[in-house]
Amino acid sequence: MANYTDCTAIDQSFGPHAQNCRGGFDFTVLFEESILTLAPIGFLILLAPFRLIHLLRKEKKVVSNPLSILKLVSLKLGIAFR
């Protein structure tokens, strides 16, 4: 088993395999953050404008009425003072 300082250095490397740390069956922290987090978030950010355009072009399904703001405020107050 590797000691803590070795595992810290290994976690800061980009390799997907954590070698002797955590039983050797884990990704490094840098790999997890870059590939498993940043890549999907970047992909979703690239797709978001297309989805927004699609949603803005669709017909509205909920019609607002004059009491909708009052309903929302009363609901919020009811939850806050629960």
pLDDT tens sequence across 15-27: 665 566 666 556 6
Query: CA-CA distance, 16 to 49, in Å (whole number)?
Result: 32
At 57 the pLDDT is 95
Digit-coded pLDDT (tens) for 33-81: 777 888 899 999 999 999 999 999 999 888 878 898 888 889 988 887 7
Shortest CA distance to 29 belongs to which of 9, 1, 43?
9
Q: Structurally, how many domains does the chain consist of?
A: 1
Q: Look up the domain containing 17 and give its range.
A: 4-80
Strand ranges (E), the chain: none
For residue 1, what pLDDT band results from cuts at 50, 70 and 90?
Answer: very low
Name the maximum alpha-carbon separation found in the chain. 67
Q: Is the alpha carbon torsion for 25, 28, 33, 38 positive or negative?
A: negative
The token duo for 36 is 């498993």
